[in-house]
Structure 1
């Protein structure tokens, strides 16, 4: 079978695509071949292709229309920041190309809906969105443990976590996180990634209540070494997110995610699933399980009063770190045409509708 030819929009050394996508795409087992790169300029794309060791002959572009018009590109992969997703992939959708774009799909529900409609109008066969937490080993293991009835009927789940972003400082390379209208915040990125992962295991909401707060309306912009480059920068995005709701199964959910780092020396994530016969406790570094995985998985049996450490399912690409493994599993699902777990544009619009509902419940945002 010939490899699927991809064109990447937004590829540079040290950035997300290079760290999360390339290890699989450049591996011997990859079912894909990078044939084009599009950055802000042809020169930038050419430099990235060279620095990252891409094969000779990779075409380099500085305009997203060029990659959309390239007949040798089967799949366009967009890894730009969220406020550029819409303009980056719209031309490719209009030419009927398959598209894999990072989450969020767009800055807001309106952009997400339009991208879905354009994909439908142009008979795009495959759309994929990077909610890769659905493929995480923790999810695989939870599904298995719950299906075995180890804790009986699930009654509730409680999540407390930190989102890394949204603290007292923001990086000078991520100043867009301070502006709610750009579509990237503690709500839309770490919280939604985490909730999508949770709901993949426990099922969807039947009702939701929420509270958003911006407790740090002014932040500092810092360089990588921590030195301040700009002080007293206004922030309009939420840094505290509280979600409570009932799932379609009847279980209740409570999730709290705040910005910033966790308490020193403690896990940045604690996720409990409480059942009739036992309780599961999962810990991790922070809310982004899809990137860092989890650090412990324990099951307390009420019958024996013993706590058991559960080993995570190995699954495919177990030798890779979570940041790469879960993206690799998305690519494998795309190659196989397996949409059973994959998030497509329709699914993504539903997640954007959830975000819009949360904002509607918090009119100050």
Structure 2
């Protein structure tokens, strides 16, 4: 098949930029894709990225509308801040392009729903960056659960810490996490990714209750040099998030989830995920707060009948994936699923994203 021609918004020459780490590494070598256009805040910035990454023949754009109207572009990739997604993606949808938008899809559920409906009306193929759905650790959990080795599943639990907001301060780069209007924060980004990953592996929720706490109502900003600002900013996003619910299984299983900000327990993993069955229990630990980036530090099965604990091997697919930056491995798998797979099965489209947004918005209704 001919490569899918990509126009990318937000490809920076900064080595720490998300698109640089997560999108470019896979796209530059994939047989399924070719980057043909770049759009940044100015023509100079777009051309600088083209030159830096040696994207021979790629066209520089300085507006979303210009990129959307480029006849050589099949797929537009939006790798910008959450509060820009709606405005940035809309011209592409009106032009009938396929669109990949990072998670969260919009700044809120209302925006996400409007974007999804516009995409459907214009026949656009869509994909959202819920990359945990293709993570080897998550897929291994699904394989173990589906195999019946754990027996009848009775409960699933997840506890994690984001390991941010120490010293009651927000990092300078993510100052906007304090502002709900932006749409990107600990609840939407971390919480959304983790809940979607878990339910992909063990079954979706059929009922649930949420509770969120904003206990750090004012915060300082930690500058790049480690110093703290004198000024404090108001925060209206949660730093404690809990959910309990019932999973769509036969019989239904219980689910509990707790994610918090603040320091990680010294020497301990960032998160622990357990799946309890009548025959065995599966336990995973992760370095970070969630399973969507990087592979599990450990995955073990405790067999109750044998009284044994066994390590589970996670197949990461070889060097073609592990040679990519951690941020780019599962994003790359998403791209491959989009090129070769089926929406709703192999990757999440925007209809699915709307359902996740609606769940996440429910946390705000219970915030204390």
How far, CA to CA, are the matches of 2:92 and 2:282 in structure 1?
Answer: 44
Cα deviations across residues 112-140 of structure 1 (Å, max 9, x unaligned)?
Answer: 0110111112121x100000001011122
How far, CA to CA, are the matches of 1:145 and 1:41 in structure 2?
Answer: 49
Instruction: Provide the residue aligned with 2:307 in structure 1.
Output: 305
Instruction: Provide the residue aligned with 2:7 in structure 1.
Output: 7
Instruction: Provide the residue aligned with 2:42 in structure 1.
Output: 41
Q: Trace 1:294-333 onto structure 2 (pairs within 5 A).
A: 294-315=296-317, 317-320=320-323, 321-333=325-337
Contact 2:160 2:290 in 1 (8 A): no
Contact 2:170 2:220 in 1 (8 A): yes
How far, CA to CA, are the matches of 2:340 and 2:207 in structure 1?
Answer: 34
Structure 1 residue matching 2:112: 3-state secondary structure: helix
TM-score by length of 1: 0.94
> Between Structure 1 and Structure 2, how many residues are aligned?
360
Q: CA deviation at 1:47?
A: 1.8
How far, CA to CA, are the matches of 1:25 and 1:240 in structure 2?
Answer: 36
Larger mean Cα displacement after TM superposition, 155-164 or 129-138: 155-164
Consecutive unaligned residues of structure 2, counting only runs of 5 or more, are none
How far, CA to CA, are the matches of 2:332 and 2:63 in structure 1?
Answer: 27
Structure 2 residue matching 1:54: 3-state secondary structure: coil
Q: CA deviation at 1:318?
A: 4.1
**1:347 to 2:346 alignment:** no
How far, CA to CA, are the matches of 2:230 and 2:196 in structure 1?
Answer: 34
Contact 1:78 1:88 in 2 (8 A): yes
Structure 2 residue matching 1:71: 3-state secondary structure: coil
Contact 1:262 1:286 in 2 (8 A): no
Query: What is the root-mean-square deviation of aligned Cα atoms in Å?
Result: 1.6
Instruction: Provide the residue aligned with 2:133 in structure 1.
Output: 134
How far, CA to CA, are the matches of 1:38 and 1:173 in structure 2?
Answer: 22
Q: CA deviation at 1:309?
A: 0.8
Structure 2 residue matching 1:260: 3-state secondary structure: coil
1:181–1:120 Cα change, 3 Å? same
Q: CA deviation at 1:70?
A: 0.4
Cα deviations across residues 21-75 of structure 1 (Å, max 9, x unaligned)?
Answer: 1111112x44111111111111222222223x13233211121001001010000
Instruction: Provide the residue aligned with 1:186 in structure 2.
Output: 186
How far, CA to CA, are the matches of 2:162 and 2:214 in structure 1?
Answer: 14
Instruction: Provide the residue aligned with 1:162 in structure 2.
Output: 161
How far, CA to CA, are the matches of 1:304 and 1:78 in structure 2?
Answer: 50
Larger mean Cα displacement after TM superposition, 163-172 or 195-204: 163-172
Alignment equivalent of 1:284, drawn from 283, 286, 293: 286
How far, CA to CA, are the matches of 2:351 and 2:47 in structure 1?
Answer: 34
Q: CA deviation at 1:314?
A: 3.1
Contact 1:291 1:323 in 2 (8 A): yes
Instruction: Provide the residue aligned with 2:93 in structure 1.
Output: 93
Instruction: Provide the residue aligned with 1:356 in structure 2.
Output: 361
Alignment equivalent of 1:23, drawn from 9, 22, 25: 25
Q: CA deviation at 1:229?
A: 4.1
TM-score by length of 2: 0.94
Instruction: Provide the residue aligned with 1:247 in structure 2.
Output: 247
Instruction: Provide the residue aligned with 1:236 in structure 2.
Output: 236
